[in-house]
Amino acid sequence: MSAWKDNEEIEIFREYLRIPSVHPDIDYAPTVDFLKKQAKELGLPIAVYHPGSVDKPVVVITWVGQQPELPTIMLNSHMDVVPVYPDKWTHPPFAAEIDEEGRIFARGSQDMKCVAMQYLAAIRVLRKNGVSLKRTVHVTFLPDEETSGPMGMKAFVQSAEFKNLNVGFCFDEGIASVDATFPVFYAERSLWHVHFIISGTAGHGSLLHKNTVGEKLNYIMNKLFEFRQHEVERLDKDPTLQLGDVTTINLTVLKGGVQSNVVPPTIEAVFDMRLALNVEHDVFDRKLKAWCAEAGGGVEIVYEQNEPKVEATKIDNTNPYWVAFEKTIKDLNLKIQPLVFPAGTDSFYIRGLGIPAIGFSPINNTPVLLHDHDEFLQADVYLKGIEIYKNVITAVANV
């Protein structure tokens, strides 16, 4: 019989997956109630804070260590999940159905309710075994990570409640791996959402006006897509590079115009840009402004989001938490690949405070299905992840 048959931890995981904490309008109350029940069963204190908004709770379950004065370990996850298209799923997205192969189908099964429950499951085993750790461990559950966390982690790290946690190191989410190797993320690119608001000569569509918004837009787009193509070629030609090592640029929104025969006075183009670690932000900002000027002027740049450059977490002997993590992984005969996260996580705000953070989801030999239809996680893989985190948490909390 498979290890997941009638397994208590699998059932707890499935219960969490059934809570539809899905954007755009999330009621976090059922999730908070579920976590309060988990904390009570673990015999651990729980606190609920509202640093950003009264309807955006931050939940913290704490396991006090032998030396609570030491910097603590933060085991972070987010409670929210992205929207679903139910008609594209072969299983109801919030039923957490499990098939004969042990695949648990649910939104959040990979991103990232799995890791949240693996933290608690690992702690449950350790406490049952009478283990006592040197450092205090805080298991944190954040809202709105999938919307870049303005009312979640971004607000939380600025609060007195976060400062009182005295965090010295943080684990957060990673990504599944299709092979045996686990990706481990020590940094992430800076997210810029850039609006180009272009003004120009308006008039009848049959004429050849000068300085039209279309001409200016064409110039700016050519420059941006030339830069994009350069990054594409770098990635294609250098096998040592991963997506997180290059800058990505994508046109996401175009707005403007009222009628097919009228040249509009304004048009707006929005780009999603993820700046690689080697990009100097002030230099890149000046480049964008220079292209706008070369296009003919009359172009305003508005940053919907303009994340600062954040230093990567050290993954060498200068970081004792990394040393403990890496040794544990080797002792378990597992393989990891350090990478720069290609998208964004709450770790960005943690690293922004100078606190080392590692993104690690113990999911391998699994198709990457975060934000996809029919997202699933194999039950056996989930249970192995609990064993991994049991060892990893022990090692890092005893640094």
| Same structural domain, 145 and 256 | no
Quick check: is 180 in a domain? no
Give Cβ neighbours of residue 253 (< 8 Å, ≥ 6 apart): 268, 269, 270
> Which one is catalytic: 6, 9, 25, 80?
80
pLDDT digits (tens, 9 = 90+) for 129-151: 999 999 999 999 999 999 887 89
The H or E element that residue 221 is part of is helix 213-237
Quick check: is 353 in a domain? no
| Same structural domain, 212 and 299 | yes
pLDDT digits (tens, 9 = 90+) for 172-220: 999 999 999 999 999 999 999 999 999 999 999 999 999 999 999 999 9
Flag whether pLDDT at 1 surpasses 90.
Answer: no
Domain boundary among the residues 306, 321, 351 is at: 306
Flag whether pLDDT at 314 surpasses 50.
Answer: yes
Query: What value does the mean pLDDT take over residues 102-117?
Result: 98
Q: Whole-model pTM?
A: 0.93
Question: Is residue 230 part of an annotated ligand binding site?
Answer: no
| Same structural domain, 15 and 149 | yes
2: pLDDT confidence band, cut at 50, 70 and 90? low
Mean per-residue pLDDT over the chain, rounded: 97
Quick check: is 28 in a domain? yes
| Same structural domain, 72 and 141 | yes
Q: Catalytic annotation on 300?
A: no
| Same structural domain, 114 and 238 | no
| Same structural domain, 115 and 253 | no
Cα atoms in the Cβ-side hemisphere of radius 13 Å centred on 13: 38
Quick check: is 351 in a domain? no
Return the CATH number at 108. Answer: 3.40.630.10
| Same structural domain, 115 and 210 | no
More confident site: 292 or 2:
292
| Same structural domain, 206 and 78 | no
Quick check: is 347 in a domain? no
> Which one is catalytic: 9, 145, 245, 346?
145
Question: Is residue 238 part of an annotated ligand binding site?
Answer: no
Quick check: is 330 in a domain? no
Number of domains in the chain: 2
Question: Is residue 23 part of an annotated ligand binding site?
Answer: no
Phi-psi domain of 102 (left: phi exceeds 0; alpha: psi -120 through 50; beta: other): left
Domain boundary among the residues 260, 276, 306 is at: 306
Helices (H) then strands (E): counts for the chain = 10, 17
| Same structural domain, 297 and 253 | yes
Flag whether pLDDT at 285 surpasses 50.
Answer: yes
Domain boundary among the residues 289, 306, 323 is at: 306
Quick check: is 97 in a domain? yes
pLDDT number for residue 156: 98
Whole-number Å distance between alpha carbons of 58 and 156: 8
| Same structural domain, 216 and 143 | no
Quick check: is 208 in a domain? yes
Question: Is residue 374 part of an annotated ligand binding site?
Answer: no
| Same structural domain, 228 and 300 | yes
Q: Catalytic annotation on 80?
A: yes
Flag whether pLDDT at 275 surpasses 70.
Answer: yes
- Please give the distance of CA 363 from its chain centroid, rounded to a whole number: 15
| Same structural domain, 146 and 200 | no
Which structural domain, as residue segments, surrounds residue 12? Answer: 8-173+361-397
